[in-house]
Amino acid sequence: MSFRQWPVALFVAAFSIAAYGADHLQEIRQRGVLLWGADAEGGAPYVYPDPEKPDRLIGFECELAEALAGKLGVKARMVQNQWDQLIPALERGDFDVILNGLEITPQNRQRVAMSRPYYVYAQQIVTRKESHGMTSMDELKGKSVGVLSGSAASRLDGLRVCDLRTYPGNVQSFQDLKAHRIEAVVLDLPIALYYAKPDTELKFSGAAFAPGYYGIGIRKEDTTLLAALNQAIQELAEDRTLERIYIKCGLWDERQASLKEYKAEQIAESKRISTLREWPKYLPMLLRAAAITVGLSIIAMALAIVAGLVIVLLRLYSVAPLRWLARAYVEVVRGTPLLIQLFLLYYGLPQIGIKLNAFLAGILGLGLNYAASEAENYRAGIQSIPSGQSEAALALGMTRWQTTRHIILPQAVRVVIPPVTNDFIAMFKDSSIVSVISMVELTKMYGILALSTYDFLGLGLMTAAIYFGLSYPASIFAHWLEKRLRYVK
Amino acid sequence: MITVENLIKSYNSLRVLDGVCHAQERGEAVVIIGPSGCGKSTFLRCLNQLETPDSGRITINGTTVAAGSGAGNEEEQLRRGLRLSAGMVFQSFNLFPHLTALENVTQAPIVVKGESRSQAETRALQLLAKVGLESKAAAYPAQLSGGQQQRVAIARALAMQPLVMLFDEPTSALDPELRDEVLQVMRQLAEEGMTMIVVTHEMQFARDMADRVLFFEGGRILEAGTPDQIFLNPQQERTKEFLRKVAVR
């Protein structure tokens, strides 16, 4: 064997080991339990905690899992896993199958084997009761539209021309719709049926469109398990068990009739997407998202720099109650997670009548959070100025405030430039956290595009390059500023 | 013009000033000598309220601050009144490193007295000329030698037109060859009739320029008199001992 063939040989060896330990059907039967991965958090009507008895899970996929397991002669047990991380968890071996609204798409098929479909879903536009129009994708152009992060809707090409907002769960998107923060929500029909249909403030706008299939995700090497599950689904379709479950859950429609006649060829085979090769299509989307990251970081940092100064001046030079307040602010803000602060600002404040839009909430959240760190940076800077400086100023007859303003702060500014620059660059990257309050900034756009193309590498390189391209000039600028402000030029 | 009555100051249990009384006329140059830790620097810092005495009264040019009179706005105004009549020169210069020599001198007149920049700069240049540093107006402190920095510091204090100049060991941080240029400026000030209190180890300066010498020991003025009385005919044993040590050094 020549030197060059070694890597190939290793690759083949690794694969045959995987294949050897591969077929889990035997193991599942011995174990007597089928482990199925799903996310019960906000998971209605698929799988979710029973509102009456929260320690029990219900939902149509629960019943389906039991029916399938029955066909295999075993019991079913659900394994909780965050929805957008189900495929990596399956690959890791955390459970045997994914049964949680996983769409049969070319992208998913690149990474896992998909069973024949067990449900036909479609996309539904939901708006407020009083809204007009917006009955089709074309009419959504330019409107602010909410989708569930990583959902089929988030990959609809038509939504790229909307002001897209992504949400970690379904409850938040409908809350924002009702709060007039967005104009419409596009989502899988079963979810719409469960959450939006009974809600008198909301309505279905237009007919469902873009049908697709849910299938069971299985590791590619588990070929006999795949065959057994396909067999089981077919039987459940033919003996009308599926129909019975879906009618019971209010999810039956005429589309489901096609499940019996499904042919595997109906779904085109995947072709590999290289976003690097097709960069003119993807880079502009990333750059537009980067503009949001930049705008957000710059405004939030400006707020932090000014608010931090006010806080430190109160803390060091003001009277007792204000001094304590400033100190308490720093401690409380530093002692609580930014994530919670953002949730409070965006989802919490509306309960007392204050509705901030996502951008404003993001700026306030990041800015007020970083203000606490900036205040601490300033405090360290101010306290690093020798006491002889303020003594000299006081001896010249300056007041405390004049001393601070003309002698201490100008010197402290030079001391705090490096830590404040560090914070700015950190904020730049931290700003991606605002995706939890529905904003689509650079990291979120990366996530959306990566999940729709599965080119994590190519998009990741582009995204990292954009971040670096933006933060490196910032540190160059800081160096220049430091040099410029040195006492002796 | 200066009256100090029974000044007492302690740091925790250590009594640094133990009932100091002092009176000084306008135009008088007083030099304070004594071993380190005797309270002479603290005395000077109490005079312009960089330290707050525990008890006693300080009057400069009619403005009186009594210790323990509280920290209210009115008292703060009185304290600033004392500071405005007293200019201070520090052992460690304490020039503002972010400002040029000229700006160091103009800053307080502009900020405190509200003088116009041009007015302040004209006088600052005169003062820098007086201390021999007109050519260094644009230099930053880091570009100046210790002696030059201290001379700028003297100009800075003079710019506020104080009634009395307080010197706190102004040459102690300087190399011997740089001391003379600072002492020269101080001599000139004394000759012009500036009221001065100088804490120093420069015995020659004390002999030549002082109208009166105070010997501090243990937080008190142990002995006071003309330079001749103190240096040629000291009465107290501790004074003699101190002068012997200084002479040997």
Per-residue pLDDT of chain A (489 residues; tens, 9 = 90+): 344 444 444 444 444 444 444 568 888 988 999 999 998 887 888 998 888 888 888 999 999 999 999 999 999 999 988 887 888 889 888 899 999 999 888 878 888 999 999 999 999 999 999 999 899 888 888 899 999 887 888 888 777 778 889 887 788 889 889 988 899 999 999 889 888 888 899 999 988 888 889 999 999 888 889 999 999 999 998 898 999 999 988 888 888 888 887 766 555 554 566 778 888 888 988 999 999 999 999 999 999 999 999 999 999 888 889 999 999 999 999 999 999 999 899 888 888 888 888 899 999 999 999 999 999 999 999 999 999 999 999 999 999 899 999 999 999 988 898 899 989 999 988 898 888 888 888 998 898 888 777 788 889 999 999 999 998 998 898 888 888 877 654
Last residue of a domain, one of A158, A187, A212: A212
Q: How far apart are CA B73 and CA A445, in angstroms?
A: 58
A75 & A153 share domain? no
Q: How confident is the model at residue B149 (pLDDT cuts 50, 70, 90)?
A: very high
Residue A149 lies inside a defined structural domain of this protein: yes
Question: What residue numbers bound the domain in which A82 lies?
Answer: 3-116+215-256
B-chain residue closest to A392, CA distance? B94
Mean pLDDT to the nearest integer, B127-144? 94
pLDDT of residue B70: 64
Say yes or no: A481 contacts chain B, CB-CB below 8 A: no
Nearest-Cα distance to chain B for A150, in Å, is 54
B-chain residue closest to A386, CA distance? B94
Across A77-91, B34-48, B128-142, least confident range = A77-91
Question: For residue A195, what is the domain's CATH number?
Answer: 3.40.190.10
Residues of A in contact with B92 (CB under 8 A): 388
Mean pLDDT to the nearest integer, B70-92? 86
Residues of B in contact with A399 (CB under 8 A): 80
A107 & A134 share domain? no
A13 & A64 share domain? yes
Last residue of a domain, one of A225, A256, A287: A256
Say yes or no: A394 contacts chain B, CB-CB below 8 A: yes
Residue A51 lies inside a defined structural domain of this protein: yes
pLDDT of residue B71: 65
A201 & A227 share domain? no
pLDDT of residue A4: 46
Cβ pair B90:A391 closer than 8 A: yes
Mean pLDDT to the nearest integer, B103-115? 96
Residues of B in contact with A394 (CB under 8 A): 50, 83
Q: Which residues contact B60 (CB under 8 A, 6 or more apart)?
A: B1, B2, B47, B82, B85, B86, B163, B164
- With beta carbons less than 8 A apart as the criterion, state whether A245 and A253 touch: no
Say yes or no: B95 contacts chain A, CB-CB below 8 A: yes
Please tell me the total count of domains within chain A. Answer: 3
A241 & A378 share domain? no
pLDDT of residue B170: 94
B123 CB neighbour count, 10 Å cutoff: 17
Q: How far does Cα A19 stand from its chain's mean position?
A: 33
CA end-to-end distance (rounded Å), chain B? 35
Cβ pair B108:A410 closer than 8 A: no
Cis (ω within 30 of 0) for the bond into A337? no
A90 & A125 share domain? no
Q: Is the pTM of this model over 0.90?
A: no
Nearest-Cα distance to chain B for A408, in Å, is 9
Nearest-Cα distance to chain B for A320, in Å, is 14
SS3 B35: coil
B-chain residue closest to A389, CA distance? B94
Residue A16 lies inside a defined structural domain of this protein: yes
Question: For residue A319, what is the domain's CATH number?
Answer: 1.10.3720.10
Say yes or no: A225 contacts chain B, CB-CB below 8 A: no
Nearest to A487 among B98, B111, B153 (CB): B98
- Structure tokens belonging to residue A382: 């101010």
Residue A96 lies inside a defined structural domain of this protein: yes
Residue A208 lies inside a defined structural domain of this protein: yes
**What is the interface pTM, i.e. ipTM, of the complex?**
0.94
Q: How far apart are CA A417 and CA A427, in angstroms?
A: 15
A340 & A480 share domain? yes
pLDDT of residue A2: 41
A205 & A219 share domain? no
Residue A191 lies inside a defined structural domain of this protein: yes
A-chain residue closest to B89, CA distance? A392
Say yes or no: A384 contacts chain B, CB-CB below 8 A: no
pLDDT of residue A153: 87
Cβ pair A487:B97 closer than 8 A: yes
Nearest-Cα distance to chain B for A391, in Å, is 7
Cβ pair B90:A393 closer than 8 A: no
Q: Average pLDDT, whole number, for chain B?
A: 92
Say yes or no: A319 contacts chain B, CB-CB below 8 A: no
Nearest-Cα distance to chain B for A482, in Å, is 13
Q: Tens digits of per-residue pLDDT, B173-211?
A: 999 889 999 999 999 999 999 999 999 999 999 999 999
B-chain residue closest to A388, CA distance? B94
A87 & A133 share domain? no
Residue A269 lies inside a defined structural domain of this protein: no
Nearest-Cα distance to chain A for B74, in Å, is 13
A165 & A177 share domain? yes
Nearest to A395 among B83, B111, B143 (CB): B83
Say yes or no: A399 contacts chain B, CB-CB below 8 A: yes
Query: What is the count of residue pairs from A and B with beta carbons less than 8 Å apart?
Result: 64
A223 & A157 share domain? no
Residue A263 lies inside a defined structural domain of this protein: no
Residues of A in contact with B98 (CB under 8 A): 410-411, 414, 487
Interface of B with A in 107-136 (CB under 8 A): 107-108, 111-112
A237 & A207 share domain? no
Q: Tens digits of per-residue pLDDT, B206-234?
A: 999 999 999 999 899 999 999 999 999 99
Say yes or no: A388 contacts chain B, CB-CB below 8 A: yes
pLDDT of residue A15: 45
Phi and psi torsions of A235, nearest 5°: -60, -40
Cβ pair A487:B87 closer than 8 A: no
Nearest-Cα distance to chain B for A388, in Å, is 6
Say yes or no: A208 contacts chain B, CB-CB below 8 A: no
pLDDT of residue B249: 52
Nearest-Cα distance to chain B for A392, in Å, is 6
Residues of B in contact with A482 (CB under 8 A): none
Cβ pair A402:B90 closer than 8 A: no
